């Protein structure tokens, strides 16, 4: 398959799974139409990462179930390489766990896990936002307002993945006004981890 064909496929398909915890077979996964940003603006690896991340957020990838990278790649119509690379990226963000010689799975967070994540977010985000409010970033207000508009639009459209992504982008952009990129990176990971909890 040519890259252009892979781009077209990945641009309009999403993954859904009826799997239960355990190893997922190809027959348990299916693809349905959905809209994603054009791959022309990012690498194939990045686009696959966004698709997998979006399906995690939507709850279509079942926590605890083991997904085979070759099967996943076949369903997306790409080689195993960009899927493997995307999974490694997501593993570095603690969104998935790599299971050697088997594939990957989404961790199933406990209430204690999510309590710790929320506690850390409160310790980091609240003081930073208070400091930002005392010295508002006037040169970035237009961009922040535009981002809030995107959040509202995705909410009104019932687009869960879009809402979560736009909400994340806004809050991280706001935090970046504090001037500490390590803070932004840490909070970004914590926000992603909080989306894994299914007990809400």
CATH of the domain at 29: 1.10.10.10
Question: Burial of 59 by CB count in 10 Å (0-12 exposed, 13-18 middle, 19+ buried)?
Answer: middle
Residue 137 backbone phi and psi in degrees, to 5: -80, 80
The reply to whether 96 and 152 lie within a common domain is no
Contacts of 33 (CB under 8 A, 6+ apart): 12, 13, 14
Kindly give the parts of the chain with pLDDT less than 50. 1-21, 24, 26-27, 30-41, 199-200
Question: Burial of 4 by CB count in 10 Å (0-12 exposed, 13-18 middle, 19+ buried)?
Answer: exposed
Domain boundary among 73, 89, 105: 105
Residue 77 backbone phi and psi in degrees, to 5: 80, 30
Q: CA distances (Å), 52 to each of 47, 62, 76, 147, 157, in order?
A: 9, 12, 10, 23, 21
Domain range holding 134?
111-194
Alpha helices in 77-110 (DSSP H): 80-92
The reply to whether 46 and 93 lie within a common domain is yes
Q: Tell me the C-alpha distance between 188 and 195, whole Å.
A: 11
The reply to whether 52 and 125 lie within a common domain is no
| Residue 89, in any domain of the structure | yes
Q: Tell me the C-alpha distance between 91 and 3, whole Å.
A: 25
What is the predicted pLDDT for the residue at 130?
96
Are the beta carbons of 36 and 11 closer than 8 angstroms? yes
The reply to whether 59 and 141 lie within a common domain is no
| Residue 200, in any domain of the structure | no
The reply to whether 40 and 74 lie within a common domain is yes
What is the predicted pLDDT for the residue at 40?
38
Cα dihedral 106, 107, 113, 119 sign = negative
| Residue 199, in any domain of the structure | no
What is the predicted pLDDT for the residue at 161?
83
- According to DSSP, the β-strands at 103-105 and 97-99 are antiparallel
Total domains present in the chain: 2
What is the predicted pLDDT for the residue at 86?
93
The reply to whether 130 and 101 lie within a common domain is no
The reply to whether 93 and 118 lie within a common domain is no
């Amino acid at each position: 398959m040519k890259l252009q064909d892979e781009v077209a496929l990945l641009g309009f398909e999403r993954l859904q799974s009826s799997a239960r915890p355990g190893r997922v077979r190809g027959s348990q996964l299916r693809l349905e139409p959905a809209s994603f940003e054009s791959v022309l603006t990012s690498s194939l690896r990045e686009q696959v990462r966004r698709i997998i991340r979006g399906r995690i957020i939507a709850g279509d990838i079942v926590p605890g179930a083991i997904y085979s990278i070759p099967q996943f790649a076949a369903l997306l119509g790409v080689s195993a390489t960009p899927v493997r690379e995307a999974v490694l990226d997501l593993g570095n963000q603690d969104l998935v766990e790599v299971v050697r010689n088997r594939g990957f799975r989404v961790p199933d967070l406990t209430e204690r896990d999510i309590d710790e994540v929320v506690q850390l977010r409160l310790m980091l985000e609240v003081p930073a936002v208070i400091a930002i409010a005392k010295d508002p970033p006037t040169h970035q207000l237009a961009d922040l307002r535009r981002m809030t508009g995107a959040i509202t639009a995705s909410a009104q459209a019932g687009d869960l993945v879009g809402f979560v992504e736009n909400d994340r982008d806004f809050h991280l952009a706001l935090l970046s006004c504090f001037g500490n990129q390590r803070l932004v990176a840490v909070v970004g990971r914590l926000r992603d981890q909080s989306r894994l909890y299914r007990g809400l």
